[in-house]
Chains A and B, each alone.
Chain A
Amino acid sequence: MEETARATVSGKSDAQPIGLRLKKHWGKYGMVYIFLVPILIHFLIFQVFPFAFSLVLTFMDWRFIGESEFVGLKHWINFFSDTLAHKAIWNTVLFSLYYIIPTMALGLILALTINSGIRFAGIFKGIFFLPVVTSFVIIAGIWGWIFQGTETGLVNSILGVFGIDSQLFLSSSGQALMVLAGLSILKVSGSTMIYYFAGLQSIPSQLYEAAKIDGAGPVRIFWSITFPLLKPIHFYVAIITTIGSFQIFDSTFLLTGGGPNYSTTTIVYYLYQQGFASLNLSYAAVLSYILFFIILIISLIQRKYIGKDSSIY
């Protein structure tokens, strides 16, 4: 057995006929392969096939039924002159800017709160997590009511008390995207809190004790111990919130319909419009690949700059 291992490691694999080696390998790992078959089939059908099919689709004209026609790079070229698609990407980038850092910050603050030894921490954890498990449609409905752009809207009523003029919120090109980002932050921060809470729990308590003995205060402890040691969590949360922000769809679909004047039309909403309202499925596939490349590039950048030395402890 050791000999076989040595032969493999040293690359001298000619010692045994390939058939015999395969038989041995199958005898050892056969069951593993068999039990992997269902998930592999699922992966091929629901991940690999749609991915490959949509790539083929980008070079075709196909509208669900009937013959498809090969059109080469037509849809890819169209993307470069489609100003609406560019606006949708820009809106999505803006949304990400409004969303990622506040979501991470709020998640961290909530995690620190429940990790601080506060009484009824379990209850607070449940309350903070509640928006995550609540239907998005319900939360969006309430959010739309809170930020109603009339004088009788809840936030406008409060602003009125302080003598501030009513705001249009979702009816304003300049404010609508921020209001939608606020909704997503509320919805997702509970999940972020759980990741950070898990990270906080795994920081060795001896570090805190040693810091206290050395006379470090809570702020110094946070910036010198807690924050840096959460680096793997920062990286993970940054990745998932970035991906989530680029896939934003529900809130714009439910609250603004992409308006006013396309100011909340995000890339996924535009993709949806192209695919299912205009039946322009091939162009929607191009947009989905553009989105894929954007997320891939951002993830690689994040990995390079945030993910470096992420396994610090």
Chain B
Amino acid sequence: MKKTWVWLPVISLALAACSQEDGSDNASSNSDGEMSGEITVWVHPYTGDSEKEDAMWDEIVSDYESEHGVTVNLETIPWANRDQKVLTALAANNGPDVFYAIPDQMPQYADVGMLLELDSYLGDYDLENFVESSLVSVQWQDKTYGLPILQEAYTLFYNTDIVEEIGEDPENLPETWEEFTAWSEKAVEAGYYAHSFQGGGSMNGTLYPFLWQAGGEVLTSDDEVKINEPEAVEAFELINTMYQDGWIPEDSITAMAHNEQWFNGEIMAITGSGNTLSLFESEGYENFAMAAPLTNQEQVTYGTTGMFVAPSNTDNPEAAAEFIKHVTNEENQRRFNSVTKYIPTREAAKDIFDGQPHLEQIASYTQYALPGVIHPKGRDIMPSIQAELQSMMAGEKSPQEAADAAAAAIENVLAQ
């Protein structure tokens, strides 16, 4: 009897192990169709100002809760390793009911049945007001898996001092590859790099925009590999010229950033977006001018689209879908994008940038922004393409050989 106490830790542990949530309090909807229960929403720190963001989310969430009677547990998840966090939480059936995703993730997750199809929850919901290019990112095989909240459009930022030094006019920046080439040669002749190039980063910021501008494609949704077709090879050739002729820094093969060289006044132009403007603002940097995305065969650039999606194993699909509609409505897009400085995906909400010419200018470029390769293998193929591009830049392969090798590697990934 006197040893009874020794069982206490064992009993406590057994009870703790048995006390798993069964999710029954995440009730989906009442018999009369009204929503109830609670949902968990995972967002990320979109800016460095957590106070402002918290206040913004408080407003968005309280509006939703009072309108729909569903409690929202909003959790801010750090960006680092978010894929693992989302995937492991969903696998453990302990994940969010709504989370933030980007176009690379959406088709990959949707293809393996991880995402909730929203079409049946959208009904006659008006999608007309969304920017068309942003809706491309949330649909896969004619099904809608999310609604877009933000967009970005990448374009060229020029150092106006260098532009003037090479005898050009910052008011008339290059619009075509031909003009850009002429300016680049002048900049190199004057001792500058013409452009930045983050070869260690995503292909979305390096090869793809040039490839699309040349009228090429990487891979179609029908698994047709087009990266070694003549149009696409033209982009490989341009990048090869950029590297071999010294238009871009020597470390461009694996570089992740060239901010230091830019701020040191060594680079004529860099590719950037709204966050570049924020960086310039924080550094007090003003000697720049923005150009529209370049045109070769087409005027096009890369621009990610941020969206909210729901996992297919959510306990409360109606409430999750309703939250996605709520957070992406016109009013909340204004709230969200005013704080984060991203570009709203609803045309009507773009008025938040009235009187801010730079942001207004970037917002006008979202119509040209493609969100990457929308394909379930879109992310899988990227390392192979990157490796071939790096081989080419290192002089180990010609542009055509690199493109052919990339095509073979993509075929290999598709065959797996």
How far does the Cβ of B180 sit from chain A's closest Cβ, in whole Å?
22
In Å, the complex CA distance between A169 and B251 comes to: 8
A37 in the interface (beta carbon within 8 A): yes
Contact A38 B391 (CB under 8 A): no
Contact flags (1/0) for B34-50 with A, using CB distance below 8 Å? 00000000000000000
Q: Which residues of the other chain, A, contact B394 by a CB distance below 8 angstroms? A: 171-173, 260-261
- Main SS at interface, chain B: helix
Interface hits, A224-251 → B, CB 8 Å: none
Binding-face segment, B84-92, B226-234, B298-306: B84-92
How far does the Cβ of A31 sit from chain B's closest Cβ, in whole Å?
7
In Å, the complex CA distance between A279 and B87 comes to: 9
Quick one: which of B6, B13, B253, B380 has the most chain A CB within 10 A?
B253
Tell whether A261 pairs with B112 under 8 Å between CB atoms, given A171-B251, A276-B83. no
Binding-face segment, A62-70, A204-212, A294-302: A62-70
Contact A170 B390 (CB under 8 A): no
Kindly identify which residue among A145, A173, A258, A276 contacts B84, using a CB–CB cutoff of 8 Å.
A276
Contact A168 B253 (CB under 8 A): yes
In Å, the complex CA distance between A66 and B91 comes to: 9
Q: Which residues of the other chain, B, contact A279 by a CB distance below 8 angstroms? A: 87, 108, 112
Chain B's closest residue to A137 (CB) is B80
Contact B6 A34 (CB under 8 A): yes
In Å, the complex CA distance between A84 and B315 comes to: 40
Contact flags (1/0) for B174-217 with A, using CB distance below 8 Å? 00000000000000000000000001110000000000000000
How far does the Cβ of B386 sit from chain A's closest Cβ, in whole Å?
6
B114 in the interface (beta carbon within 8 A): yes
Contact B387 A65 (CB under 8 A): no
Chain B's closest residue to A167 (CB) is B250
Contact B90 A65 (CB under 8 A): yes
In Å, the complex CA distance between A169 and B252 comes to: 11
How far does the Cβ of A63 sit from chain B's closest Cβ, in whole Å?
4
Chain A's closest residue to B80 (CB) is A137
Contact B13 A38 (CB under 8 A): yes
Tell whether A152 pairs with B261 under 8 Å between CB atoms, given A166-B250, A273-B383, A277-B379. yes
B113 in the interface (beta carbon within 8 A): yes
B348 in the interface (beta carbon within 8 A): no
In Å, the complex CA distance between A64 and B109 comes to: 10
Contact B253 A259 (CB under 8 A): yes
Kindly identify which residue among B7, B88, B114, B250 contacts A168, using a CB–CB cutoff of 8 Å.
B250
Contact flags (1/0) for A260-293 with B, using CB distance below 8 Å? 1110010000000100111110000000000000
Interface hits, B107-164 → A, CB 8 Å: 108, 112-114
Q: Which residues of the other chain, A, contact B386 by a CB distance below 8 angstroms? A: 257, 259
Q: Which residues of the other chain, A, contact B388 by a CB distance below 8 angstroms? A: 261
Interface hits, B299-339 → A, CB 8 Å: 311-313
Q: Which residues of the other chain, A, contact B255 by a CB distance below 8 angstroms? A: 149, 171
Contact A64 B87 (CB under 8 A): yes
B59 in the interface (beta carbon within 8 A): no
Q: Which residues of the other chain, B, contact A78 by a CB distance below 8 angstroms? A: 416
Contact A150 B250 (CB under 8 A): yes
How far does the Cβ of B384 sit from chain A's closest Cβ, in whole Å?
9
How far does the Cβ of B123 sit from chain A's closest Cβ, in whole Å?
26
Contact A38 B254 (CB under 8 A): no
In Å, the complex CA distance between A171 and B399 comes to: 18
B1 in the interface (beta carbon within 8 A): no
Tell whether A65 pairs with B6 under 8 Å between CB atoms, given A38-B13, A260-B390, A276-B83. no
Contact A150 B249 (CB under 8 A): yes
In Å, the complex CA distance between A265 and B255 comes to: 16
Chain A's closest residue to B386 (CB) is A259
In Å, the complex CA distance between A30 and B10 comes to: 12
How far does the Cβ of B319 sit from chain A's closest Cβ, in whole Å?
20
In Å, the complex CA distance between A257 and B260 comes to: 20
Contact B13 A41 (CB under 8 A): yes
How far does the Cβ of A178 sit from chain B's closest Cβ, in whole Å?
14
Kindly identify which residue among B254, B256, B266, B383 contacts A176, using a CB–CB cutoff of 8 Å.
B254
B9 in the interface (beta carbon within 8 A): yes
How far does the Cβ of A271 sit from chain B's closest Cβ, in whole Å?
13
How far does the Cβ of A22 sit from chain B's closest Cβ, in whole Å?
16
In Å, the complex CA distance between A279 and B378 comes to: 12
A191 in the interface (beta carbon within 8 A): no
B396 in the interface (beta carbon within 8 A): yes
Tell whether A31 pairs with B6 under 8 Å between CB atoms, given A261-B396, A279-B112. yes
Q: Which residues of the other chain, A, contact B383 by a CB distance below 8 angstroms? A: 257-258, 262, 265, 273, 277
Kindly identify which residue among A30, A64, A148, A168 contacts B90, using a CB–CB cutoff of 8 Å.
A64
A153 in the interface (beta carbon within 8 A): yes
Q: Which residues of the other chain, A, contact B13 by a CB distance below 8 angstroms? A: 37-38, 41
Contact B112 A65 (CB under 8 A): yes
In Å, the complex CA distance between A256 and B256 comes to: 8
Q: Which residues of the other chain, A, contact B10 by a CB distance below 8 angstroms? A: 34, 37
In Å, the complex CA distance between A149 and B391 comes to: 16
Contact B380 A277 (CB under 8 A): yes
Q: Which residues of the other chain, A, contact B380 by a CB distance below 8 angstroms? A: 277-278
How far does the Cβ of A136 sit from chain B's closest Cβ, in whole Å?
12
In Å, the complex CA distance between A279 and B108 comes to: 8
In Å, the complex CA distance between A172 and B254 comes to: 9
Q: Which residues of the other chain, A, contact B249 by a CB distance below 8 angstroms? A: 149-150
Kindly identify which residue among B9, B200, B250, B264 contacts A257, using a CB–CB cutoff of 8 Å.
B200
Q: A149-B254, A166-B250, A260-B391 are in contact. List 18 more A-B contacts (CB 8 A).
A: A34-B10, A65-B113, A149-B249, A168-B251, A255-B254, A257-B201, A259-B200, A259-B253, A260-B253, A260-B390, A261-B390, A262-B383, A262-B387, A276-B83, A277-B83, A277-B380, A278-B380, A279-B108
- Sample (16) of A-B pairs whose CB atoms are under 8 Å apart: A34-B6, A34-B7, A37-B9, A63-B112, A65-B312, A144-B256, A149-B249, A152-B261, A260-B394, A261-B391, A261-B394, A262-B387, A276-B87, A277-B83, A277-B379, A279-B87
Closest 8 CB pairs of A and B: A149-B251, A171-B253, A260-B390, A64-B91, A63-B112, A278-B380, A171-B254, A261-B387
